[in-house]
Chains A and B, each alone.
Chain A
């Protein structure tokens, strides 16, 4: 198992409530693990705990056991994990290194910090930019890119480090629908050999990419299983963490389990 959490609770400094409560689950490569819930459920915090950034960078207090790639990511051995965990945040411009004058330099920032040789860095950058179809902007100033292009660049920056665990927090928020579709279509491929954990409320698009859903509410896990059995239920509809099609089916009085996609609904309700 790449990621193991056992009864993990976390509270931000000065907060009145825990952001995560007694969270327990495991993740391994093989499918995309989708973490979702209503706003404020704790999905972003969960990714940061898995990465060790909470509490190491954010401050706060954590209880329970977090083991990522065999180590506590916030503990004294976290340096062993450098470059092995990738994290993509929702807002691309806050992830810019501030040191790169071209897109290629930006993508190279992480590999350079890991001390890779220049040839290896160059190959990793080229491949990552090819993956996100942005080779043509390699020489441009990242600050001149649109929000969507920049987010794809930051995705490339994560991939270029070749991490074993990929944590993606609302990776498509700045992307147009075509870009979002392309990104979600790629995730299962990425997940074949890496542990990919995706946190998003964009369920209409993300559900097709997910092999497993972990549903959070108020920082606690209230569901863990395959997408149909977790998102196609009245509970998911109640929390608002489900797809539009499932909501329509629920409102229409359909039997459980609610279909999650247009294709599934057509199969179920077509005459």
Chain B
């Protein structure tokens, strides 16, 4: 059974069509990037997942339940959403209390709440700032707080909107590591992003929305190493992918660690040769 499935979904804002006949399914453990130009309907699609909106035609399934007739707070039992702007949700006096909010709403016991919160904070590297006020943290760290808050809900489906925006390279790497480890635990991930570095590092499959439909549904590696195609979408292939292609590194690796490993062979070979 798919973790998330769209069955011939149509959606319009009044007379303005946004999504036409969208069909997709994401299995448990799959990490999927959702790309498209501004206005393509990416955010609308994620809101349909969370039952913030409902399709005019077709069905959205989360596991074995459709979202029609359900509210976001009901869907939150299985699905968590990391919004683009962290400040839309931060209200608690400490990071710890903020992250604990979701699991408490979902009815976990105090002991369970304490455990999931500690695990979530450790996972995103915020355990040292657990007792700080969220608004005292820099914007990028506030985003990490909202990611921790979503993880604490123990979702089976995780939806993220621009999770790496405004982050420095180490923070982007941390987000990538978190997403990869979640996927390995069977969480289905759908991330709206412009950051092809994040796609390369953590999201193995890519969906591209164009002209209200899915124009591409396939492996991310094929897309991120094709700078021409990326530019057609208003994106840019990540540096690791461009470097691999330009240097002709075997396998054209798109991830930083893999590109470095391939390059190490060449560097070592050059050193031996000289």
Interface residues of A, Cβ cutoff 8 Å to B? 38-40, 90-91, 146, 148, 170, 173, 176-178, 181, 201, 203-204, 240-245, 247-254, 262, 265-266, 269-271
- Which of B166, B167, B197 lies at the interface centre, i.e. has the most chain A CB atoms within 10 A of its CB? B166
Pairwise interchain contact B168-A178, C-beta atoms closer than 8 A: no
Is B194's CB under 8 angstroms from A176's CB? yes
B194, B231, B268: residue with the most chain A Cβ atoms closer than 10 Å? B194
B150-182, CB under 8 A of A: which get 1 and which 0? 000000000000000111111100000000000
Return the contact of A146 from the options B39, B246, B260 (Cβ within 8 A): B39
Residues A269 and B168 in contact, CB atoms below 8 Å apart: no
- B264 and A39 form a contact (CB under 8 A): no
Q: 18 extra interchain contacts, Cβ-Cβ under 8 A, other than A252-B264, A254-B263, A265-B243?
A: A40-B141, A90-B139, A91-B139, A176-B235, A177-B235, A177-B236, A178-B231, A201-B167, A240-B170, A242-B169, A244-B240, A247-B256, A247-B260, A248-B240, A250-B260, A266-B243, A269-B247, A269-B267
B208 at the interface (CB under 8 A from A): no
Residues in A with CB closer than 8 Å to B140 are: 39
Chain B residues whose CB sits within 8 angstroms of the CB of A270 once the complex forms: 247
Q: A269 touching B260 by the CB < 8 A rule?
A: no
Other-chain residue from A38, A173, A241, A266 in contact with B165 (beta carbon distance below 8 A) = A173
Q: Mind listing 17 A-B residue pairs with CB under 8 Å?
A: A39-B138, A90-B166, A148-B38, A170-B166, A242-B169, A244-B239, A247-B256, A248-B260, A251-B257, A252-B264, A253-B268, A254-B263, A262-B239, A262-B246, A265-B246, A269-B266, A271-B266
CB contacts between A and B, total, < 8 Å:
99
Q: B231 to A269, Cβ gap below 8 A?
A: no
Q: How large is the interface on B (under 10, 10 to 19, 20 to 34, 35 or more residues)?
A: 35 or more
Knowing A178-B231, A262-B246, say if A244 contacts B263 (CB, 8 Å).
no
- For A41, give the chain B residue with the smallest CB separation: B168
Separation of A269 and B271 alpha carbons in the complex (Å): 11
Q: Determine the chain B residues whose CB is within 8 A of the CB of A40 once the complex forms.
A: 138, 141
Q: Helix, strand, loop or mixed for chain B's interface? A: helix
Which of chain A's residues have a CB closer than 8 A to the CB of B260? 247-252
CB <8 Å contact, A248 and B169: no
Contact of A240 among B169, B197, B247 (CB under 8 A): B169
Closest Cβ–Cβ distance, residue B85 to chain A (whole Å) = 9
Q: How far, in whole Å, are A254 and B234 apart by their CA atoms in the complex?
A: 33
- A259: nearest residue on chain B (CB-CB)? B243
Name which residue of chain B comes closest to A204, CB basis: B239
Residues of A near B171 (CB, < 8 A) are 39
Is B147 an interface residue, CB under 8 A from the partner?
no
Which residues of the other chain, B, contact A244 by a CB distance below 8 angstroms? Answer: 169, 197, 238-240, 256
Instruction: Mark B residues whose CB is within 8 Å of A.
Output: 37-39, 138-141, 165-171, 194, 197, 231, 234-236, 238-240, 242-243, 246-247, 256-257, 259-261, 263-264, 266-268, 270
A137–chain B nearest beta-carbon distance, Å: 13
Which residue from chain B places its CB closest to the CB of A175 in the assembled complex? Answer: B194
Q: Would A245 and B236 count as touching, CB distance under 8 A?
A: no
Is B234's CB under 8 angstroms from A243's CB?
no
On chain A, the residues within 8 Å of B243 by CB distance are 245, 248, 262, 265-266
Once bound together, how far apart are the Cα atoms of A243 and B172, in whole Å? 13
Closest 7 CB pairs of A and B: A251-B260, A240-B170, A244-B239, A201-B168, A252-B263, A177-B236, A252-B264
Contacts of A146 in B (CB 8 A): 38-39
Check B264 against A262 for contact (C-beta < 8 Å). no
Chain B residues with CB under 8 Å of A148's CB are: 38
Q: Nearest Cβ in chain B — how far from A135, in angstroms?
A: 19
A204 to B200, CA, bound (A): 15
Give the complex CA separation of A40 and B166 in angstroms.
Answer: 12
Q: Are B239 and A245 in contact (CB under 8 A)?
A: yes
Bound-state Cα–Cα, A120 to B42, Å: 42
Partner of B166, one of A173, A181, A271: A173
- Chain B residue with the shortest CB-CB distance to A251: B260
Tell whether, in the assembled complex, residue B38 and residue A176 are in contact, meaning their CB atoms are under 8 Å apart. yes
| B173 to A, closest residue via Cβ | A240
Which residue in B141, B194, B259 is a CB contact (below 8 Å) of A248?
B259
Nearest Cβ distance between residue A44 and chain B, in whole angstroms? 8
User: B83 → chain A, closest Cβ, in Å?
Assistant: 14
**Chain A: which residue is nearest B37 at the CB level?**
A176
Q: Per a CB cutoff under 8 Å, which of B139, B239, B267 touches A253?
A: B267
**What CA separation (Å) do A146 and B240 show in the bound complex?**
29
Once bound together, how far apart are the Cα atoms of A219 and B18, in whole Å?
Answer: 46
| Closest chain B CB from A146 CB (angstroms) | 5
Contact of B234 among A176, A203, A251 (CB under 8 A): A176
